[in-house]
A and B are shown apart, each in its own frame.
Chain A
C-alpha cells in the first residue's frame, strides 16, 4: 500500500512504536516484585529506564515543542508577574482560546489532507448571527443554537461541494466563500449588532456557566479535542484523511473515497465553526457583524504552530489546541507588561516568533536524534 507507507512514517504513534514502549514497561512491572539487593539495583536501573522510556514517548510527540514553549512562556511571565499564574487567569486563557481552537481543529484535518478553509472566521460569524436573528425573532434559544450548528454544517458542505463540482483548489473556493459569508453577515445584520438573548436565558446560563469551577467553554474544548484526536488516530476516516494528505495519487490509486472524505472534512470544519459561533452567542448574548474577522489566519497559525505541517499527511489535534493556547498566552501575557500601544503588535509577533523558534529547535534536535538512532 503506497498510501500507507508515508503515513506510517509520519505517524509517531504507529503500532510499531507503541509495542516497543509496552515491552519496556511490562519488563519493569515483572521485575519489581523481586526484593533482593541485586534486584533493587536492577529495579532502580529499570526505573530509570522506564522514566527514560516515558520521556522518550513524551518527547516524540509532535506537540511537545509547543507545549514546552507554552509552559516556558507561562512560567516566564509568572516569574515577573506572579498573578499571571493564578488559576482564574489560566482558566480565562483556556476559555478564550476555545474559539480559535475549535476553528483550528477543523483546519488541522483539512491541512492533513492538503486542503485549507479560509472561510472559517466568516462561518463562525455567520452561524452566530443567524442563530441570533432566529432567537431575536422569538425562537427558543436552544432551537436557535441547534439551527446555528446545522447552518455551520451546511456552510461547510457548500465549501466542499464548490470544490468538488467546480474542481477548484480549496484555497480559491474558500477565499470566495470567506467573502460571500461575510457579505451575508453584513447584509443580514445591516451592519448592526443583534441582541439575541438575556444572560439569564437557560442557554446563556449553560454556556456562560461552569462545572467543577471550569468554564463550559473549556469543557467543550476538551471534549472536542479528545473526540477529534480519537477520530484522527483510531478511525478509518482519520486514517483516510492522513493517507490522502500523505500521498493523494496513491490514495486515489488504492481506491480511497477521496471526495467523500474531503466533503466530510469540510462539513466537520463548518460544524466546528457553528459550535464556536454558538458558544460566542451564548456567552455574549449578542452577535456582532465583525465577529471572527481575521480568525482564519489565527486558525491556520494555531494548527501549524501546534505541529500540523502545511504539506499534509499528518495532524495533531492536541498540538493545535496548544497552538491556540500559546497565542492566547501571548495576548494575555502582554497585558501585564504595559507595552506601548503602537508596539503591541510588534511585541505579539516577536513573542510568537520566539516560541515557534523554540519549538522548531526542539523538532530539529529530535529529528537529529532519531536519525542517529
Chain B
C-alpha cells in the first residue's frame, strides 16, 4: 500500500463507508416492519398466523410438557408455531429467544420462565409493539402490561400431596416432614412448599415441616442432597420434593434403605411415574403442564384466527394427583403427543366451553 496516495486512501475509506451505510439502509427498509398490526387480531388464515412459545429449557420434564401442549394446539389449528427453549436452564438465553420471537411470531407469544424479572423489559416492549403475550407457569411482572396468566394454584397443589400423605400416616401422627426445593428462588416452588406446610398444620398439627432445603437440580447432586437430608433427619415421617429431579432420588434412596418413610415429589418424568407404579413413591403431583401450554397457545390462536379477546386474569388448569390408582393410565397417556391429546380433549372441551369460568383475578394467582 506504500504507493497509494493520500486522496486515494480517503476515497477508498469514503466509498467503504457509503457502501456500508447504503447496505444498512436497504436492510432496515426490508426488515424494519415493526409488528403493530395484531392488537385487534382476527381474520387471518391459519397459514398466515405465526405464534411463539418460549420455555425454560428443553431438558426438564415440566418445560417440555408445556412445550408439547403448545405444539399440540398449534397442530390442531394448523398454525405456524415456533416452540423454543435453551437446552439447559439459562434464563439469559431464554430472554434472547423471546426477543427473537418478537420479530418472527408477531401474532402472539406465550412465555414460560422461572425468572420473570429478567423478561420485564422485553415483554413490556413486545406488549407495547402490539404483540399479545401470555405468561405461563409464573406470573409476569405487572409493569410488563401482560394481563393473562395460565398457571396452577401451587399452594393447593402442595396441599394435594399432603392430603394423599395423610392417608398413609396414622390419624394422630407426630414427627417431622422434610421438604426440598431443587431450584431455590422460584416462587411457584416456594408456594408448593407453603401449601405442604399449611396443609400439614391443618390436618396433622403435631407434624412439623422442616425446610425448605436445597435439594439441587443436577441428578447426582440431588441424590446426594437427599441422601444427606435423610441421614441428618433419619426419623422423619416423609421426605417430599417440590420439583422434577426429586422423584428419582427419593425413590432410589427409599429402595436402597428399605425405608418405611413416605416419599413423593412433583412432575411427570419417567422415573417418577415408574416409582409410583412400583409403590416406592406414594404419589406425584402432575401440575398439568401440558394443559397450561395448550391453553396459552390456544388463547393466542383464537385471538389471531377469530379476533376472540384473550381473557384477562388467571386461568388455573388445576393439578392432578397421580397415585397407584391412576398411574397406569397416566403412563399410557404420556406415550405420545397423540395419546396426550386424546386424554386431554374432554378436559379441553369442557374448559373452553366456558372460558370465563376458568378465570380468576390476576392478583390472586399463587
List A residues at the B interface (Cβ < 8 Å): 81, 83-84, 86, 88-89, 92, 96, 99, 182-183, 186, 189, 191-195, 199, 208, 280, 283-286, 288-295, 328, 331-336, 338, 341-342, 344-345
Scan B219-258; emit 1 where CB is below 8 A from any A CB, else 0: 1110111011101101000000000010010001001100
Q: In angstroms, how far is the closest chain A Cβ from the Cβ of B91? A: 15
Contact for B213 among A99, A286, A335, CB less than 8 A: A335
Complex contact B274–A328 (CB within 8 A)? no
- B323 in contact (CB, < 8 A): no
Q: In angstroms, how far is the closest chain B Cβ from the Cβ of A293? A: 5
Contacts of A285 in B (CB 8 A): 252
9 sample A-B contacts, Cβ–Cβ < 8 Å, listed by A number: A191-B60, A284-B219, A290-B60, A292-B218, A293-B88, A332-B224, A335-B231, A341-B181, A342-B185
Docked Cα-Cα span, A331 to B224, in Å, equals 8
- Which single residue of chain B is at the shortest CB-CB distance from A345? B214
- Which single residue of chain B is at the shortest CB-CB distance from A95? B227
Contacts of B194 in A (CB 8 A): none
Complex contact B248–A331 (CB within 8 A)? no
Q: In angstroms, how far is the closest chain B Cβ from the Cβ of A100? A: 9
Contacts of A189 in B (CB 8 A): 59
Q: In angstroms, how far is the closest chain B Cβ from the Cβ of A81? A: 7
Contacts of B256-275 to chain A: CB distance below 8 A: 256, 269-271, 274
Given A288-B248, A292-B220, A191 and B214 contact (CB-CB distance below 8 Å): no
- B151 in contact (CB, < 8 A): no
- Which single residue of chain A is at the shortest CB-CB distance from B274? A195
Docked Cα-Cα span, A288 to B269, in Å, equals 10
Contacts of B227 in A (CB 8 A): 92, 96, 332
Given A280-B220, A286-B271, A335 and B228 contact (CB-CB distance below 8 Å): yes
Complex contact A332–B231 (CB within 8 A)? yes
Contacts of A89 in B (CB 8 A): 231
The 6 closest A-B pairs by CB, nearest first: A335-B228, A332-B228, A344-B214, A335-B232, A288-B219, A191-B59
Complex contact B59–A290 (CB within 8 A)? yes
Docked Cα-Cα span, A86 to B270, in Å, equals 34
Contacts of B59 in A (CB 8 A): 186, 189, 191, 289-290
Given A92-B227, A335-B231, A341-B211, A192 and B184 contact (CB-CB distance below 8 Å): no
Complex contact B64–A192 (CB within 8 A)? yes
Q: In angstroms, how far is the closest chain A Cβ from the Cβ of B46? A: 27
Given A193-B271, A291-B220, A199 and B255 contact (CB-CB distance below 8 Å): yes
Docked Cα-Cα span, A183 to B229, in Å, equals 32
Contacts of A182 in B (CB 8 A): 87-88
Contacts of A334 in B (CB 8 A): 228
Q: In angstroms, how far is the closest chain A Cβ from the Cβ of B158? A: 15
- Which single residue of chain A is at the shortest CB-CB distance from B253? A92
Contacts of B99 in A (CB 8 A): none
Interchain pairs with CB closer than 8 A, number: 111
Complex contact A192–B229 (CB within 8 A)? no
Complex contact B232–A290 (CB within 8 A)? no
- B19 in contact (CB, < 8 A): no
Interface centre among A193, A291, A328, A332 (most CB of B within 10 A): A193
Complex contact B256–A290 (CB within 8 A)? no
Interface centre among A99, A182, A192, A290 (most CB of B within 10 A): A290
Given A191-B59, A192-B64, A208 and B213 contact (CB-CB distance below 8 Å): no
Q: In angstroms, how far is the closest chain A Cβ from the Cβ of B340? A: 14
Interface centre among B211, B219, B255, B271 (most CB of A within 10 A): B219
Q: In angstroms, how far is the closest chain B Cβ from the Cβ of A128? A: 10
- B39 in contact (CB, < 8 A): no
Complex contact A186–B228 (CB within 8 A)? no
Docked Cα-Cα span, A86 to B232, in Å, equals 11
Scan B173-215; emit 1 where CB is below 8 A from any A CB, else 0: 0000000010011000000000000000000000000111110
Contacts of B213 in A (CB 8 A): 335, 338, 341, 344
Complex contact A284–B248 (CB within 8 A)? yes
Given A186-B87, A332-B228, 17 more A-B residue pairs with CB atoms under 8 Å apart are: A83-B231, A92-B231, A186-B59, A189-B59, A191-B64, A192-B270, A193-B270, A284-B248, A286-B270, A288-B248, A289-B59, A290-B60, A292-B218, A293-B88, A328-B224, A335-B232, A342-B185
Contacts of A332 in B (CB 8 A): 224, 227-228, 231
- B58 in contact (CB, < 8 A): yes
Contact for B88 among A81, A86, A193, A290, CB less than 8 A: A290
Docked Cα-Cα span, A183 to B88, in Å, equals 10
Q: In angstroms, how far is the closest chain B Cβ from the Cβ of A194? A: 8
Contacts of B58 in A (CB 8 A): 186, 191
Q: In angstroms, how far is the closest chain B Cβ from the Cβ of A300? A: 16
Contacts of A286 in B (CB 8 A): 248, 270-271
Contacts of B210 in A (CB 8 A): 338
Contact for B270 among A84, A195, A199, A342, CB less than 8 A: A195
Contacts of A293 in B (CB 8 A): 88, 218
Interface centre among B220, B225, B227 (most CB of A within 10 A): B220
- B38 in contact (CB, < 8 A): no
Docked Cα-Cα span, A86 to B245, in Å, equals 27
Contacts of B218 in A (CB 8 A): 290-295
Given A191-B58, A284-B219, A286-B248, A344 and B231 contact (CB-CB distance below 8 Å): no
Complex contact A341–B271 (CB within 8 A)? no
Complex contact A83–B232 (CB within 8 A)? yes
Contacts of B185 in A (CB 8 A): 342
Docked Cα-Cα span, A334 to B232, in Å, equals 9
Docked Cα-Cα span, A338 to B213, in Å, equals 8
Contacts of A88 in B (CB 8 A): 231
- B104 in contact (CB, < 8 A): no
Contacts of B82 in A (CB 8 A): none
Given A191-B59, A335-B213, A291 and B219 contact (CB-CB distance below 8 Å): yes
Contacts of B88 in A (CB 8 A): 182, 290, 293
Given A331-B228, A335-B228, A341-B181, A99 and B64 contact (CB-CB distance below 8 Å): no
Complex contact A83–B234 (CB within 8 A)? yes
